């Protein structure tokens, strides 16, 4: 019986994580805006070279009753340096972050700022998904921040935006 409960818990966790992955695809524009504001890319696009966002998320209590885009909420967020990102994930993120470098350079050649990897941790599952967010052109990042700059309070602003999206 105990073993069966552990298996069910694992399946529940896997199902929750799958729902989490679907959920975060419904908020791509918000992740983009958070990256631009958190890293202040409108002022200096080169900030992307040494900045990665880490966002902590948890499921809402009534998750089963909610539409996909409202099933989770932002608990907090902070910026990691690339060195911190490599060490925090015990090297597991290294292949992914290394893979982002040529993609980032490709997007820069096309006139964009690049690609921002965002570490998204689902608290209940203690699992992290790394999301690649395509960033705008520098001129568009400037416009984004002029219209609505979340500044240092970017994680609180993101939490509110996700809640009402």
Q: What pLDDT digit, counting tens, does each position of 49-99 carry?
A: 999 999 999 999 999 999 999 999 999 999 999 889 888 777 777 888 888
- Residue 6 pLDDT > 60: no
Taking CA atoms, 108 is separated from 35, 50, 67, 114, 126, in Å, by 16, 15, 36, 5, 33
User: What's the maximum distance between 2 C-alpha atoms anywhere in the chain?
Assistant: 60
Specify the number of domains making up the chain: 1
- Which pLDDT score is estimated for 165? 86
Contacts (Cβ under 8 Å, ≥6 apart) of 84? 52
| Distance from C-alpha of 165 to C-alpha of 163, rounded to nearest angstrom | 6
Identify the domain containing residue 88 by its residue range.
2-163
Pairing of strands 115-122, 72-80: unpaired
Question: Which of the four pLDDT bands, split at 50, 70 and 90, describes residue 9?
Answer: low
- Which pLDDT score is estimated for 3? 33
Structure pTM? 0.90
- Which pLDDT score is estimated for 46? 95
């Amino acid at each position: 019986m105990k073993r069966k409960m552990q298996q069910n818990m694992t399946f529940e966790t896997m199902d929750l994580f799958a729902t989490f992955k679907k959920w975060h695809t419904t908020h791509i524009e918000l992740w983009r805006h958070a990256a631009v504001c958190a890293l202040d890319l409108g002022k200096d696009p080169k900030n992307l070279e040494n900045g990665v966002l880490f966002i902590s998320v948890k499921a809402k209590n009534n998750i089963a009753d909610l539409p996909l885009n409202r099933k989770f909420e932002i608990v907090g967020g902070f910026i990691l340096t690339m060195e911190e990102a490599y060490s925090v994930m015990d090297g597991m993120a290294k292949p992914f972050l290394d893979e982002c470098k040529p993609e980032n350079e490709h997007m820069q050649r096309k006139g964009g700022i690049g690609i921002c990897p965002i570490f998204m941790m689902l608290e209940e599952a203690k699992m992290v998904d790394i999301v690649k967010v395509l960033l705008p052109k520098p001129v568009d990042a400037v416009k984004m921040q002029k219209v609505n700059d979340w500044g240092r309070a970017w994680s609180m602003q993101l939490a509110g935006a996700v809640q009402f999206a």
